[in-house]
């Protein structure tokens, strides 16, 4: 694939994100910032289209038309005060006093009553459409905002996810994305609780440095990453709607990790959309483009969304995506299953 892409310099530069090797505009979290014109171009998977036009063929289980990689970043399992207040106010506006009170009462019962312990609920929803997904858990000790959770406290929840056939992956810490030793420690900590090897990764806040992050993750023993996407928009960051092996321009070689690029994150989608309808049309467009190229579209819906009364539209859209993709004949599954399928056919 790389040799074919090298034949077209413009396509090669886009695929490798050559511009990101130099100092570019960064936001407060050290993430790449793009001009609006570049973000509009991200709606067209130019590199994948080029590959398909030059003979690349993809296939999925049971002759599925395309694949949807469903993922959830488990940032919180206990609602922060801001979320509690927003949900409470939302219930009060609808004169649901019992619902409003419940936002606080769980704190006086037991931690398991937290509305963000909703992994079973999410899995049940996905299973109703014949789908599976990945859950990425934090195993870091420090966070810039607040204490999140100790992974050792929720071992039985990880066990349920794994036992049902869904994936448990690592959500790398905010301060770990450029620190190989920290990432290795977090991986080891998560694996100790889970009792099995972890193959998938996505970094907290989508912090990522091209190509250094891929090299660090490959060295840490991860099989695939799914961080590579836009933090403030949606679309195809390097023109790919297929998994790919990244390339290190500095060392002129392939990096031994599979990237399953992130295309749509819930927060970015609704921040860029003026309404539920606009968010759906944007999502549908990206799904249809991916399907037309027999590609893989990766979605990120945070688990907290499913426990927030003020995020009901976000849940409604996720359910609509599952239904739409099911009707279109998509293979809806976890990053791990896509990785294993892709590797077997490489």
pLDDT, tens only, 137-147: 999 999 998 88
Mean pLDDT of 327-341: 98
92: pLDDT strictly greater than 80: no
Tally DSSP H helices, then E strands, for the chain: 14, 11
User: Structure pTM?
Assistant: 0.94
Q: How far apart are CA 83 and CA 56, in angstroms?
A: 46
Residue 102, token pair as written in the block: 């419940």
Give the residue from 222, 234, 227 showing the smallest Cα distance to 206.
227
Backbone angles phi, psi at 323, to 5 degrees: -65, -45
Q: Which of 109-118, 278-287, 300-309 has the lowest mean pLDDT?
A: 109-118
Strands 330-333 and 66-74, bridge-based pairing: parallel
Q: Which of 45-49, 56-60, 108-112, 207-211 has the lowest mean pLDDT?
A: 108-112
User: Positive or negative CA dihedral for 76, 78, 82, 83?
Assistant: positive
| Residue 210 three-state SS | coil
- Cα 327 to the center of its chain, rounded Å: 23
Domain ranges of the chain: 2-77+116-344, 81-115
- Helix (H) / strand (E) element for 248: namely strand 247-248
Pick the CATH number of 2-77+116-344 from 3.20.20.370, 3.40.50.10190, 3.40.50.300, 3.40.50.280: 3.20.20.370
Please list the residues that pair with 134 across neighbouring strands.
71, 167
Q: How far apart are CA 70 and CA 132, in angstroms?
A: 7
Q: How confident is the model at residue 80 (pLDDT cuts 50, 70, 90)?
A: confident
pLDDT of res. 93? 65
Long-range pairs of 1-8 with CB within 8 A, sequence gap ≥ 24: 1/51, 1/56, 1/244, 1/245, 2/245, 2/247, 2/254, 4/51, 4/54, 5/47, 5/50, 5/51, 8/50
Q: Which of 30-39, 98-107, 254-263, 305-314 has the lowest mean pLDDT?
A: 98-107
Mean pLDDT of 66-86: 85
Q: How confident is the model at residue 37 (pLDDT cuts 50, 70, 90)?
A: confident
Q: How far apart are CA 160 and CA 155, in angstroms?
A: 9
pLDDT of res. 39? 79
Q: At what angle do helices 180-194 and 212-220 cross, to 10 degrees?
A: 40
| Residue 171 three-state SS | strand
Q: How far apart are CA 194 and CA 67, in angstroms?
A: 27
Q: How far apart are CA 61 and CA 146, in angstroms?
A: 42
What's the residue count for the chain? 346
85: pLDDT strictly greater than 80: no
Residue 256, token pair as written in the block: 């031994």
Listing DSSP states for 265-329 in one string gives: EHHHHHHH-SSHHHHHHHHHHHHHHHHHTT-EEEEE--GGGGG-GGGHHHHHHHHHHHHHHHHTT
Q: How confident is the model at residue 305 (pLDDT cuts 50, 70, 90)?
A: very high
Give the residue from 237, 306, 226 showing the smallest Cα distance to 20.
237
Radius of gyration of the chain (CA): 20
């Amino acid at each position: 694939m790389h040799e074919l892409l090298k034949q077209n310099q413009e396509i090669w530069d886009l695929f490798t994100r050559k511009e990101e090797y130099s100092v570019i505009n960064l936001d407060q979290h050290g993430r790449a910032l793009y001009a609006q014109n570049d973000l509009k171009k991200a709606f067209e998977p130019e590199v994948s289209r080029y590959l398909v036009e030059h003979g690349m063929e993809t296939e999925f289980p049971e002759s599925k038309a395309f694949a949807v990689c469903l993922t959830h970043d488990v940032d919180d399992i206990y609602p922060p005060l801001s979320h509690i207040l927003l949900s409470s106010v939302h219930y009060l506006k609808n004169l649901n006093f019992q619902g409003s009170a419940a936002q606080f009462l769980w704190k006086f019962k037991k931690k398991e009553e937290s509305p963000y312990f909703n992994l079973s609920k999410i899995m049940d929803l996905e299973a109703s459409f014949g789908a599976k997904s990945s859950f990425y858990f934090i195993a870091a000790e420090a966070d810039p905002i607040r204490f999140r959770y100790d992974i050792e406290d929720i071992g039985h929840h990880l066990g349920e996810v794994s036992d049902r056939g869904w994936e448990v992956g690592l959500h790398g810490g905010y301060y770990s994305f450029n620190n190989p030793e920290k990432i290795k420690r977090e991986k080891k900590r998560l694996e100790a609780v889970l009792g099995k090897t972890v193959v998938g990764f996505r970094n907290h806040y989508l912090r990522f440095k091209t190509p250094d992050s891929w090299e660090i993750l490959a060295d840490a023993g991860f099989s695939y990453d799914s961080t590579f996407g836009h933090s403030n928009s949606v679309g195809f960051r390097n023109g790919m709607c297929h998994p790919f092996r990244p390339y290190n321009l500095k060392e002129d070689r392939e990096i031994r990790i599979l990237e399953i690029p992130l295309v749509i994150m819930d927060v970015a989608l609704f921040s860029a959309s003026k309404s539920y309808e606009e968010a759906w049309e944007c999502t549908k467009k990206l799904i249809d483009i991916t399907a037309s190229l027999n590609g893989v579209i990766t979605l990120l819906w945070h688990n907290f969304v499913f426990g927030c009364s003020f995020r009901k539209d976000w849940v409604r859209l996720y359910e609509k995506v599952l239904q739409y993709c099911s009707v279109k004949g998509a293979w809806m599954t976890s990053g791990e299953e896509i990785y294993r399928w892709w590797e077997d056919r490489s």
